[in-house]
Amino acid sequence: MAQEKKPQSKRRASCLFVFLALLVILVGVGTAVWTIIQRWQAALANPAITQHDAAVGLNPAQRIFLASYLAERVDQLQQPAGSGSNPVLFTIAPGESANQIVNNLVAAGIVADGELLLNYLTYYGYERELVAGQFTLSPQATMPQLVQTLTQAGTQDIELSFLPGWRLEEMANYLAVTTPAQIDSQEFLAIGRRERPFDLTPYPYLTNLPPENTLEGYLFPSQYRIPVTTTAAELVALMLARFDSEVTPALRQGFGAQGLSLHEAVTLASIVEREGVVVEERPLIASVFYNRLRAVMPLQADPTVQYALGSATGEWWKSPLDVADLSLDSPYNTYQIPALPPGPINSPSLSSLQAVAEPAQSSYLFFVANCDGQNRHLFSVTYEEHQANVARCS
C-alpha cells in the first residue's frame, strides 16, 4: 500500500507546478493587458494622435499598438525629420511601395527614423496615398509636413527652366520676370555673386573655390520642380546639389586626365558652351582650345570678351564685337591672355562638360563659323588655312 501513494504525490506536485505556471502566465498577460490599456488611454488623451483619422482597415490590435506607439513619440513627430539643412530633390517612381519610399527617404538623409515614418503612414492610411512624382523636400520639415507634401501629387509645385549658357544675371532676370515661389531675384543674384552669406560646406567640390570667384558655372542649368514656398537660398542649394550629382566622379576623373582642376574644367566648358551651338561639334571645339593651351596661345574666344563687356554694360552677349573690344583690359579677355580666364562665364550644359572631359583628338588650332546657316564651323591647322576659311564667308 505504501508503494501506491508515491505516484499520487508526484501527480500532486506536477499539478501544483502546472497551476503555478498558469498563474505566472496569467499574471504576465494581465500585466501586459494592463500596460496596453494604460498606453491606449494615454493615446486617447493625446490630441496629437487623432483616433477618428486612423485608417479604416486597421484591426483593433493594430489600432491600439500604433496609436500607443505614436503617442509616445509625439515630440519626435514635431521635430525635423532629418539632420540635413538643405532641400533635396526626391523622386517617387510609379509602383514604388511605402517601404521602398521610406527606405529611399532615409538613404537621402531626409528622414532619420524610417520605422516611425512607416508606422505613421500605416496608422493614418497614408501609405496608399503616396503619389509618384518629383518633390523638393527639406530635412528640416516634420514627418507630418513631409507626408502632406508626398500625398499632394506636386499640385503646389512650380517648374523652372534654366537654359545652358546663361550667366548669373540672365538667371536672375528670368526669376525677376517669372516671379516664382518666394524667390527674390536680387537675393538669388547676391548669393550667386557671393555678396550675401551662404553656407558652402555641404558642397565639398567648392572647397577650393577662390573667394573672389562667384558661383558662376556651378548653378546647374536644368528644369527644377519646386514648392511655392521655395526661397532664393533654397533654389541655389538645389542647383549646387544638382551640379554635384550630374558632374560624376567619372567626369571629374576625365578632367584630371586632361590636366585640369574642376574649376578650370568648368571654365573651359562654359567657353565651349557659347562657341559650340551644335552639340556634336563640342568635343572638336574643346580639342582646339586644348591645343592652344598646350601651345601657350591665346584662346581668342569671343564669348569671354562678351562676358567681360556684359559685366560693365548690361548687354550680356554683345555681337558682333568691335576691334576695340578685343583690346579690353580684363582677365577675361582671352585675346590678351594666353590662358584660361579666372572662372566660368556661364553655366555649361552636361554635353559641354563631357566634351572637356573627353575632347576629340585633333591638330586643329583654328575654327570659324561656317556660312551655311547651320551653326557649324570650319576647322583648320594653320593660320593660312584659317584665313582661307574666313575669306569663304566674307
The domains found in the chain, sorted by start residue, are 46-155 (3.30.1490.480), 157-246 (no CATH), 249-362 (no CATH)
Quick count: other Cβ atoms within 10 Å of Cβ 66?
20
* CB 105 within 8 Å of CB 117: yes
Residue (of 228, 360, 390, 192) closest to 289 by Cα position: 360
Mean pLDDT to the nearest integer, 19-33: 57
User: What percent of the chain stands above pLDDT 70?
Assistant: 85
Residues 239-281: tens digit of each pLDDT: 999 999 999 999 999 999 999 999 999 999 999 999 999 999 9
Distance CA 319, CA 323 (A): 12
- Compute the distance between CA of residue 189 and CA of residue 233 in angstroms, rounded to an integer: 10
- Give the predicted TM-score (pTM) of the model: 0.67
Single out the residue of 151, 155, 156, 163 nearest to residue 117, CA to CA: 151
Q: What is the pLDDT of residue 314?
A: 73
pLDDT tens digits, residue range 156-181? 678 899 999 999 999 999 999 888 88
- Alpha-helical regions (H) of the chain: 2-45, 60-71, 74-77, 98-107, 114-124, 143-150, 168-178, 185-192, 232-246, 249-257, 262-275, 282-294, 302-313, 350-357, 383-392
Least confident of 93-97, 104-108, 263-267, 319-323: 93-97
Look-up: residue for cell 562665364? Answer: 345
C-alpha 317/C-alpha 308 separation (Å) is: 9
Q: C-alpha angle 231/237/243, rounded to 5°?
A: 140
More confident residue, 88 or 364: 364
- Cα 232-234-237 angle, rounded to 5 deg: 110
CA end-to-end span of the chain:
134
Average pLDDT over residues 333-351: 97
Q: What are phi and psi of 167, to 5 degrees?
A: -90, 170
pLDDT at 299 exceeding the cut of 60 = yes
Question: What's the pLDDT at 6?
Answer: 53
Residue 1 confidence class, pLDDT cut points 50, 70, 90: very low
Decide: helix, strand or coil at residue 223: strand
**Is the predicted pLDDT of residue 189 greater than 60, yes or no?**
yes
Question: Which carries the bigger pLDDT value, residue 382 or residue 63?
Answer: 382
- Of the given ranges (31-35, 239-243, 365-369), which has the lowest mean pLDDT? 31-35
Q: Are 66 and 122 in contact (CB under 8 A)?
A: yes
* pLDDT over 50 at 367, yes or no: yes
Which amino acid appears at position 370 of this protein?
A: N
Half-sphere exposure of 316 (CA within 13 A, CB side): 12
**Block residue for cell numbers 573672389:** 212
**What pLDDT shows up at residue 106?**
95
